[in-house]
């Protein structure tokens, strides 16, 4: 019987060891899955998979960037001259248009006549650029040239200034508007939350009486526990109209509103961590200062704060981390326009909001799907850096010796 129990105990202890590893395994899995999908973006062709661009061979254009393709199909550029071709008007042809010209019967069973018909159109129009599925394209025909399509480059993603993931034919996956939007909203939020949070932390650790502290700590924990979506609802119904009216803006959904909301959400983090740091200042240091004739206030700003600066910095960093990762609240109040942010009082789009808003419709495995995973990877890396930074900072302790 004792033998059996020993075995059972060994098994359980083995289980315990494995459980210890669970969080490390989880992080590993997250990194693997996110990264694997995200990296796939750079091997995806710049136009939708299975499609290509075809021009007439007489057209000597050979290279188009994704931005060029977008401008052509948006009719922002009308002449081939822009791309070192002839000075002729560009005729844009989208695959779906063939169905307006020919009926289903004329295209043959299983669309067998489709490539021919498409080929005719291209040959007849020397200035045409056609966006066609490779399967039905008249690629073998003389007189028709397929434009080489590059894969989405790292530059396109990290340096691109436009995020238009469903543009046809070539979607634009520029990270910059999203990254800048995220940073703008989060940093301004901390600018609001820091003085307020620090002030309250000082109040709690130095000024408040026992009873007040007993009342305020749970209150702040409550503020921390309010779900993001409830903050978002509050922001949508209360803050947005207020911001719109008080600042006279054309619209209340702005980065500014997002920052206000995020500031409130990051407050509890900043307050608790900063307050903890300040309370941990040793009595000896405090009393030394007071003994030297400093007032309480002077002690605070000359002694306690510098002493707890590592804890306060950790608080700021953690607050930023909280703000950057927020999804629902931001989604509901910032207007979500994917533009390079020019002003705090315009709409902006953050990385988490983008993922939440677009993930549902991105077909699994497509370029859009991969780009969202890449966004997720970047978000993960940012918060990892923040997490590690906060830990490193808070470990640094100043000398107590004088």
Partner 1 sequence: MDKKISQQIAFWIFRVLGILVIVILFWILGFIIYNGIGVISWEFLSTSPTEGMTSGGILPAIVGTVYLVIGSMIFALPLGIMSAIYTNEYAGNSWVVKFIRVMTNNLGGIPSIVFGLFGMVLFVNTLGFGDSILSGSLTLGLLVLPLIIRTTEEALRAVPNSYRTGSLALGATKLQTIRKVVLPAALPNITTGVILSIGRVSGETAPILFTVAAYFLPKLPNSILDQAMALPYHLYVIATSGTDIEASRPIAYGTALVLISIVLLMNLLATFLRRYFERHKR
Partner 2 sequence: MEKKILALITLLLITLSVNAQRIKGSDTVLPLTQKEAESYNKTHSSSTISVTGGGSGVGISALLSGTTDIAQASRKIKFAEKQKLKKGGQKAVEIIVAYDALAVVVNPSNKVTNLTREELEAIFTGKIKNWKEVGGEDLVIVPYSRETSSGTYEFFKANVLNNKNYMNGIMSMPATGAIVQSISQTKGAIGYIGLAYLNKDIKAIHVSYDNGKTYIAPSVENAKNKSYPIVRPLYYYYEAGLESKVKPFIEYVLSTTGQKIVSEVGFIPVK
Q: What is the footprint of partner 2 within residues 174-233 (CB under 8 A)?
A: none
Which residues inside 24-43 make contact with partner 1, applying CB under 8 A? 24, 26-27, 29-30, 33-34, 37
The stretch among 52-60, 115-123, 208-216, 361-369 that binds partner 2 (CB under 8 A) is: 361-369
Which residues inside 224-253 make contact with partner 1, applying CB under 8 A? 225-234, 236-238
Q: Which residues contact 391 (CB under 8 A, 6 or more apart)?
A: 314
Q: How far are the Cα atoms of 113, 276, 277, 283, 305 from residue 400, in angstroms, in the given order?
A: 86, 18, 15, 11, 14
Q: Is residue 313 within 8 Å of residue 391, measured between CB atoms?
A: no
Q: How many residues bind partner 2 (CB under 8 A)?
A: 43
164 binds partner 1 (CB under 8 A): no
Shortest distance, CB of residue 359 to partner 2, whole angstroms?
9
Q: How many residues bind partner 1 (CB under 8 A)?
A: 81
Q: Which of residues 120, 221, 361, 391 is near partner 2 by CB under 8 A?
A: 361
Kindly write out the interface string for residues 1-20 of this chain, putting x where it contacts partner 1 by CB under 8 A and - elsewhere: --------x--xx-xxx-xx
Which residues inside 153-172 make contact with partner 2, applying CB under 8 A? 162, 164-168
Q: CA torsion angle for 267, 270, 276, 278 (degrees, to 10)?
A: -110
How far is Cα 90 from Cα 72, in angstroms, rounded to an integer?
A: 8
3-state DSSP percent of the chain in helix, strand and coil, to 5? 65, 5, 30
How far is Cα 28 from Cα 222, in angstroms, rounded to an integer?
A: 33
How far is Cα 331 from Cα 181, in angstroms, rounded to an integer?
A: 12
How far is Cα 300 from Cα 77, in angstroms, rounded to an integer?
A: 63
For residue 169, say if its preceding peptide bond is cis, omega within 30 degrees of 0: yes
344 binds partner 2 (CB under 8 A): no
Binding partner of residue 165 among partner 2, partner 1, none, CB cut-off 5 to 8 Å per kind: partner 2
Interface residues with partner 2 (CB under 8 A)? 48, 50-51, 70, 73-75, 94-96, 133, 135, 162, 164-168, 236, 240-241, 244, 250-253, 331-332, 335-339, 346-347, 349, 357-358, 360-364
């Amino acid at each position: 019987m004792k033998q059996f129990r020993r075995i059972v105990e060994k098994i359980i202890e083995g289980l315990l060891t494995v459980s210890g590893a669970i969080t490390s395994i989880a992080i590993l899995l997250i990194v693997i899955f996110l990264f694997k999908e995200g990296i796939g973006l750079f091997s995806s062709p710049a136009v939708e998979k299975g499609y290509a661009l075809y021009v007439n061979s007489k057209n000597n254009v050979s290279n188009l960037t994704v931005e060029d393709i977008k401008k052509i199909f948006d009719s922002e550029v009308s002449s081939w001259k822009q791309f070192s071709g002839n000075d002729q008007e560009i005729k844009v042809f989208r695959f779906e248009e063939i169905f307006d010209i020919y009926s289903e019967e004329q295209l043959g069973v299983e669309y067998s006549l489709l490539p021919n018909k498409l080929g005719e159109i291209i040959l007849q129009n020397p200035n045409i650029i056609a966006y066609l599925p490779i399967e039905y394209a008249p690629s073998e025909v003389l007189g028709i040239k397929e434009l080489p399509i590059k894969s989405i480059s790292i530059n396109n993603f990290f340096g691109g200034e436009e995020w238009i993931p469903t543009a046809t034919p070539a979607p634009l996956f520029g990270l910059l508007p999203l990254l800048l939007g995220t940073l703008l909203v989060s940093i301004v939020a901390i600018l609001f939350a820091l003085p307020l949070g620090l002030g309250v932390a000082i109040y709690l650790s130095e000024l408040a009486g026992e009873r007040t502290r007993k009342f305020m700590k749970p209150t702040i924990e409550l503020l921390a526990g309010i779900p993001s979506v409830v903050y978002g609802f509050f922001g949508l119904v209360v803050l947005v109209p207020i911001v719109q009216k008080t600042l006279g803006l054309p619209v209340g959904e702005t980065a500014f509103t997002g920052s206000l909301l995020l500031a409130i959400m990051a407050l509890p983090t900043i307050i608790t961590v900063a307050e903890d740091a300040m309370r941990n200042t040793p009595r000896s240091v405090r009393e030394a200062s007071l003994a030297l004739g400093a007032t309480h206030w002077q002690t605070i700003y000359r002694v306690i704060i510098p002493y707890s600066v590592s804890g306060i910095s950790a608080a700021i960093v953690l607050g930023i981390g909280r703000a950057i990762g927020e999804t629902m609240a931001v989604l509901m109040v910032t207007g979500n326009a994917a533009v390079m942010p020019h002003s705090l009082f315009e709409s902006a789009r953050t990385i988490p909001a983008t993922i939440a808003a677009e993930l549902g419709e991105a077909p699994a495995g497509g370029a859009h799907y991969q780009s969202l995973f890449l966004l997720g990877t970047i978000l993960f890396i940012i918060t990892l850096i923040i997490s590690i930074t906060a830990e490193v900072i808070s470990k640094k302790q100043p000398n107590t010796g004088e």
